[in-house]
Structure 1
Amino acid sequence: MKNIFYLFSFILLNIFCRDTNKGQQFHTAEYPKTDSLNLSNLRLKNLPLDSFANKKITYLNLLGNAEIDLFKEEKLLKSITALTDLRITVHSIAQIPLSLRDKVKGIEIISYDNNKFCELMSLKGLKYLSVNANFGGEHNQSIGQIPREIYDLTQLEELRLPYLGITSIGNEIGQLTNLKTLNLDYNKIANLPQEFSKLNSLEDFSIRENMFINFPKVLYDLAYLKKFNFLFNSISLPEDIDRLRAIEDISFTKYADTKIPLQFCELSKLKKLTVWVIRGSNVNFEDDFLPQVFDKLTSLEKLSLPFCNIKKIPQVIFKLTNLKDLDIHENFITELPSQISNLEKLEMLNLNNNPLTNLPNEIARLKNLKSLDILETKINKIPPAIYGLKEIEWFNIDQTLITYDSLVNFKYLKSLNLSGKNLIKIPKSVFQFKNLVSLNLSNNNNKEVPDQVANFKELEKLNLKNNPIIKISNKVAQLDKLNVINLDNNDGFKAICNALSVYKKDIYMAPDGNFPFYIYGINVYLSKNITEIPAEIGKLSTLRELNLMGSTIKLLPNQMMNCSNLKIINLVSTRLESINPQIQKLKKLKSLNLANNKIKFIPNEIGELKDLEFLNLGSNLISEIPPSVSELNNLINLSISNNQITRLPSQLSKLKKLKSLDVSKNLIKEIPLELLNSNTLTEFEFYPNLLPDKEIYNKVKAKYRKIVF
């Protein structure tokens, strides 16, 4: 998944949200000792053994971890004798061992063939099914209709089929009487069959961005329907909408002349309402869009009206006294009326991107307000009333409007931005903010992070970018929730190595943007201007990934070889001139990427890396592959393209797990017969080289699925 970067300009630290967590390990302490374990969306390759210690797990969620080899983990999963509900992500049913199929109760299928839905029937009692948007592989084929095999999965409780080009729903849908959640977003459906009324258990139904033009009144028969999302369908609300008696959450799109009928205000259980206008459209927000009796929705807690072309907030909104969340960002509102104080229970107020020039003094009466967003407005000074919001935790505002002295008024802050405040040290009063989740000290002149950092028990993100850091207290290692330290564009590499020398969780190091965001352990973002790896790196016994791609280092220090838990090294496009022979000490190394450097020689000791699966030495100055490479018994991918190699050792055929071999752009004149006869290789790239016999090209082309000419 891509990096997402949010900057909350006043008090919100740079928040990094990445969800690709390759090769990650976990500690049992991360999970509660219950019979359920959720490891979803962590992009795991292997199951963390210590997470299963002394636990009688009945429910295990592995959704979003498509790289886990279930055959490899079969023994471990079978040993969990209490396990009855396993949730997994696979490319096809064939990836599930037969011995585990009776435990599988939830499955996400990606890149699935339309003609293999019949295999679903081998999974008895399936409760959760999701077919990913990558359906059909790179061409994203449409399935047209929901396959009949899905209708036979009568125990299903949750079904997700978005982005599949579905045009119709069969009458057999009525068989899924246990269904509680149905997501058919981004398809081409225009109506629902009458048999849909048999889904008596359905609570959550979403048809966002389909082709409906009429409201599907068959939903009136669903007594337990609580949530209905039909955003971006050309549907108007019917006069008898109040027949959705159980509805608590509804989302729809406003088109020209769309009005909320009076009967809508009879939905007494409604807690959340979201209305959008298609961005860039000329649809007006009429004064009477919300009926005068809208305040009859006394259960309403969240009202979201973004992009609705609102110029003036309807007065009836201020009568919704149970409202906790009001989101009216991206509109044309110039004034926040004093009646805002009527919403005494309000906890979140989003006014982002409106031409507001001021806030009324009455806003100070919102004693429960915890989040206020007034970024991208025309407010050019902080209204005094703001300082009366003592409970505020999140405050998004142009940071140039704030002085540090004013921050002490907000003792419950969870995010604090002191970027560019010309600080030469962290003010002592900062340490009073014991609830901080994120602290931004970037673009200052701080040289030290003192011991008082231990006060931040809740801290998750610490930004020290663009500071001359020379010392970081080892107290940071005690911050159990700390997940990100940003040391970009400073010299804090040595300092952080010293500080984390006693850290017990996993450590991942890389320039910002060059590696995934790991949820557990700590992510250290380093400067791209690093010229050498400090000897102190040898103190990091839990370092798992080192990525210095694009830096200017020339050698790997001996001390680095003490990082016995290191699994991933990425030094692509540095100035590395040699591979330290002591690399043989890194027994747990799985991935070594040293492409595009100035390496001339591969040491024999590399053969000691018995766990290595990926080795990339492409675009270097190497002239020979040592026979010891053939001792890398777990190697799956070997790339040594664009070098000066003249021959391939026949011993490479001994690599029984090798799937991909790239020796293109070398000086090779002959391919050993042993390689030509390999039964394990599926990708063999060898052109251009100096092979004189064109028949060899034809043999290889005929044998391997992928070949590059």
Structure 2
Amino acid sequence: MLINKTILLALFISIFFITCTKKNPISEPNLNHSIYDEDAISFLNDIQNQIIINNSNYFNECYCDTNNNNILEPLELTYLRWNYSEVEEKKYLIEVSFITSGYFIDSIPSSIQFVESLESLTIVNSSIESIPEEIFSLTNLRNLNLYNNNINELPDLFYQLDSNLLVLNLSGNSISELPSSLLELNNVENINLNNNQITSLPDEICNLNSDINISLTENAICLRDNVPNCFEEKIKNQTKCYSEIDLDGIQSIIDSNNVSLDICECDLNLDGIIQPFEFGQKTWETWTENARLIEATFSDINYFPKITFDYLTSIEKLNLADNNIDTIFNEIEKLINLKELDISNNKLVSIPETISNLEKLRKLKVNGNDSLIYLPELYQLNELNISHTNLFCENDIYDEEYLNNYLAYDIIVYGAFMQYCVMKPDINFLEDMVEVNELFSTWSNIGEQIWHDGRLTSFSLRNEININEIPISIANLTEISYFEISNSILNDVPIEIGELTSLNSLVLNNNNLDEIPFDFSQLHSLHLLDISSNDLNEFPESICQIQLIEVNFEDNRICDNLNPPCSIFQWNEQIQTQRCKNLEDINFILELKNQNNLEGDYSTIGLQVWSEIENEELDRLIFFEYIGIQDTNSIIYNIPTEISNVVYLEELNVINHSLENIPFEIFSLPELVSLNLSSNFINNFSITNNQNYSLLNIDLSHNELINLPNEIINLTQLKNLDISYNFIQELPLAVGNLNQINNLNISNNNFTKIPNIIENLTSLTTLNISSNNIDSIPDSWCNQLSLDWNNLNNFNSDDNKLCDQSKIPTCITVNEINQNCD
């Protein structure tokens, strides 16, 4: 009969918890006896006398001497619960729970009969030998818990408690027979008779209310004839029927492995000790005295001692899988009845020769012992599992002769080719996958693997977000037919995939691939290719060299080659799903190309950066730069007004071309941060009347500007302005309102005097006024501006006409050598 741990433990805990757990179970601090029921005090006094006789120091041990008189008084007993009657102004005892004090109680005083208010009585771990008849007069009693005493006989008076009794716990006693009145109870919910000396059950048990939970484990009900037919199936785990020989054998395993409650949560009877009948999963002979152990599974062990084999001689099935055992001793030959042995997934290196003496052995599992290299000839077997070992390897070379020897005896061999000498190339790939992607895993549990004849034939890795690389050792997978890495961050694949000629299906969807670098021409077995939801810019045309049945390239960025390179299934439907560039942005570049007679495809015009934008279905142009080379056919004369539609443009650089004006639409672009139109022929431009909050940097140096428009005041966030190398003679007053400017360069212009408005630019950190015709600097600058006047990187006034020191503030030092003072 197989132990059902869950049922046994749940039943025992439910009963024990109900009977032993109380709210606020403390002794009464008020020792004024006058407010307490006299009969209850008398009963407690009798209990107190027993405790004092057996342990006079108990008042110290229980920490319950509330009045510090070194005497244990009745109201100081733990644990008591009272109910106060406001009508009688008296407290009545309703609950008694003697647990630690129970060790010093020999009997239940007859005075208990007068405590008519009592609803719950718990006296456990005591020496009580009988239940007094007086208890049965307590008609309010709902819970009676006398666990772990020495009771050997029960009065046939339980019918007197039928009206209120709900829980009866008599486990851990020496009861041998059940009175008929106990089995006639109708309202009780739980009866616990575990761990007694019961050997038989009366026929009356068949009349027991089916709603009552009755537990009879750990008794001695060994013979079928001693149990009514109605109750046969409920008799389980009769531990006192078990052979002491086998129990001693199990005890030797517990002792040699120092099995504790931390290791094994198997203390079924909650006594704080792991008993042999509790350890492991076991099947015993049924309906017999001195029952022998037939089947057993033992977990969480590192050692199977020699002596155990002397005890478990009747065992037929022994499961020691998934432990840390490194040695099986020669004494295993003593298990003469053993038919099935599972020692898989341990740390064995060899199996002793004596195992061949087990004539009844038919099934043996040694798989998963990575270092196992030797197994005796076991031709009496029907089945043998040796996968993930090295048993059929000789000097790291597979020797098929080992297999043929077993097959000659019609033995089914599982994992014959799953030998590490065969599997090593594929294992190397899996180990590399773990290493290069820094996975917290081992080769054996990464992804979903299917092996056949020692070779990896299918590998799937889904939703592993940390995969960004496939190692080149994928070339080792010469037998792989299905390979998948999906829903990850894979950004590159090795060209060695093109060598996997057995590949039938390749799935790389939902990654970050922007190209497929390998050649498909050798993948003639490939029928399915899924590269959807990546960032591919081009369709891999070498696919056309094989006969693919299905290819999925949806949701990529294949935007330029809109015509299929060959016959591709549902090309038109899939090309419509590509995440391509916004047509308005493309149209701007096309207009730029057409209006300036530029050559090449739109994607080759200048340097372009496109980006995904939230809530935009297609990529938008955010950066455009075109640096011209004079005397070529790539010169820009005009920027088309369609630039107004490029609303996500952040930076525009058109440098060294032949622009003569700037379309005012540029200054309306809401995301534009930086504008560089230097080295052109711009002589004037206009700015929209709307305020621009995004533009921070403008470089219009090396042009032909004569002035700046007043509307420059609308560029409220401008921080850097370079208008050097132009023909400007004065600045508009509006510039003085650009109080965010940090860097201003007006060098190499035609200024003859300092624009007064500069002193309003209090955020300036650099100012370059060099190479003009300026002959004086206002004194107010020293107070208004916080520049490092003597640092050329911050302030440069060279190559002007600052020759009269009286026209130069004292905070500024000007070297006449660097001035035009003719």
**TM-score, L = length of structure 2:** 0.34
Greater relative contact order (Cα < 8 A, sep 6+): 1
Of the two, which has the highest radius of gyration? 2
TM-score, normalization by structure 1: 0.39
